[in-house]
């Protein structure tokens, strides 16, 4: 596929592969600007119901044949899809053409400064190509490999509040992301963050319990194992708030608290489910941060903190950890945002020091993180009970050490 040209985009390589898409690295031959191009196989079978690995393998095989003979020949010329028409698809339309759902929902929310934008969509008989901006760095790499947030509480707050702002806008537009995780959050050179990969997003306000949507580390408990005393359907957006709580732990502690929020399959979460105070043994968190996490990580999704309240509490938080550089963090004062603030022009070049505003941006996305092995990228939507091997670990390791699990007293 490398060196193939699609319209004015020359393919430089493959960024990553996931259960339901292949992301290409490309450059505009006129402007030399780099882009991420996501290829989505056009199948009337909703991708969510397909076997992810088989779907991905079929897509890669097709792309190699489709683009392979274009590597040394003339550019492949594909027609553009009408983005306004895609944005306006009805639920019935999306059921008829499920491969356009991701594009449709991302287009509906990309006016927010911290949601990635789609530049154009190109059509072919069997694959749709979605052209988006390219970023080299995702939040996972920044936290774990670069340890970029290890000593900067103000930067943690600013990035996290940008994520919350983007997600609040999505929810206001009736879109739940359903796969919030560090790999789906991209950073630019000024540490602005961008929400990407709407492949699992939903407009359903309510989902039935135990519908596993997302990635295990970040999936809310009602998506995995519902308490017997909780009946009925649950608000879809509330699961995103749970995921944000795990993201905030990642930022402040560089680790995950458990493998998955399943009280039978994960002994660490089982301890938390019995008594939330176990968090203070698992993590080096301050009492203030512990109190906030208890509001976010409520087992009953109807009792979780709202996004607006979460943003206000994080802005006022004065301590993340019991000691160290995150023991004392500055309070962030920000104005109540209105509709115009969502779409404000970015202040380019403003880093974390001296930041006065939370909501700024510059652009967009790379869907899958650079440097992932293929098997790890399939994890984007893994939902089985045996998929732990596909999940990347934060360092230090998540959860309670094996030799301490039977001796916890809270």
Q: Which of 179, 188, 191, 197 is catalytic?
A: 179
pLDDT at residue number 233: 83
Residues 6 or more apart whose Cβ sits within 8 Å of residue 271: 278, 400, 405, 408, 410
And the tokens for 83? 């983005």
Domains and CATH numbers, the chain: 5-133 (3.30.200.20), 137-404 (1.10.510.10)
pLDDT at residue number 3: 82
pLDDT at residue number 151: 93
C-alpha angle 391-395-398 in degrees, rounded to nearest 5: 65
And the tokens for 330? 């500055």
pLDDT in tens, the chain (410 residues): 778 999 999 999 988 887 678 889 999 999 999 999 999 988 745 444 456 667 777 787 788 878 876 555 678 899 999 999 999 999 999 999 999 999 999 999 999 999 999 999 999 988 999 999 998 899 999 999 889 999 999 999 999 999 999 999 999 999 999 999 999 999 999 999 999 999 999 999 998 776 777 888 999 998 888 766 666 788 999 999 999 999 999 999 999 999 999 989 999 999 999 999 999 999 999 999 999 999 999 999 999 999 999 999 999 999 999 999 999 999 987 653 333 344 433 333 333 333 223 333 332 222 222 232 323 322 233 233 333 322 344 433 344 444 444 444 44
Mark whether 123 is an active-site residue.
no
Look up the pTM and report it: 0.80
Binding site membership for ATP: which residues?
Answer: 42
Would you say 33 and 135 are in contact if contact means Cβ atoms under 8 Å apart? no
pLDDT at residue number 45: 53
Binding site membership: which residues?
Answer: 42
What are the CA-CA distances from residue 119 to residues 82, 131, 136, 348 (Å)? Answer: 11, 6, 18, 20
């Amino acid at each position: 596929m490398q060196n193939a040209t699609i319209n004015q985009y020359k393919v430089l390589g493959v960024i990553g592969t996931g259960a339901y898409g292949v992301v290409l690295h490309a450059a505009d031959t006129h402007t030399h600007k780099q882009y991420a191009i996501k290829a989505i196989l056009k199948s009337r079978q909703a991708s969510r119901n397909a076997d992810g690995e088989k779907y991905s393998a079929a897509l890669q095989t097709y792309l190699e044949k489709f683009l392979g003979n274009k590597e040394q020949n003339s550019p492949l010329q594909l027609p553009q899809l009408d983005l306004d028409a895609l944005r306006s698809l009805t639920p019935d339309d999306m059921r008829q053409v499920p491969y356009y759902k991701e594009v449709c929902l991302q287009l509906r929310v990309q006016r927010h400064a911290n949601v990635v934008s789609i530049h154009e969509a190109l059509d072919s008989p069997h694959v749709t190509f979605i052209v988006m901006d390219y970023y080299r760095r995702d939040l996972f790499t920044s936290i774990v490999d670069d340890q970029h947030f290890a000593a900067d509480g103000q930067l943690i707050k600013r990035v996290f509040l940008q994520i919350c702002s983007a997600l609040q806008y999505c929810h206001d537009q009736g879109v739940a992301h359903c796969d919030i995780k560090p790999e789906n959050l991209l950073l630019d050179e000024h540490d602005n963050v961008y929400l990407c990969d709407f492949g699992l997003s939903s407009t359903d306000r309510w989902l039935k319990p135990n519908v596993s949507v997302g990635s295990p580390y970040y999936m809310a408990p009602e998506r995995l194992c519902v308490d017997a005393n909780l009946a009925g359907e649950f608000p879809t957006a509330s699961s995103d708030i749970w995921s944000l709580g795990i993201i905030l732990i990642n930022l402040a502690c560089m680790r995950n608290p458990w493998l998955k929020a399943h009280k039978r399959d994960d002994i660490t979460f089982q301890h938390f489910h019995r008594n939330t105070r176990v968090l203070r043994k698992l993590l080096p968190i301050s009492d203030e941060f512990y109190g906030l996490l208890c509001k976010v990580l409520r087992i009953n999704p109807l009792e979780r903190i709202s996004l607006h309240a979460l943003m206000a509490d994080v802005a006022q938080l004065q301590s993340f950890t019991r000691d160290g550089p995150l023991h004392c963090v500055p309070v962030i004062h920000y104005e109540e945002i209105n509709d115009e603030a969502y779409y404000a022009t970015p202040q380019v070049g403003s880093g974390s020091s001296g930041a006065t505003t939370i909501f700024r941006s510059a652009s967009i996305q790379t869907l899958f993180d650079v440097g992932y092995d293929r098997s790890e990228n399939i994890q984007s939507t893994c939902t089985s009970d045996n998929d732990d091997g596909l999940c990347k670990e934060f360092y230090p390791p998540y959860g309670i050490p094996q030799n301490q699990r039977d001796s916890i007293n809270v």
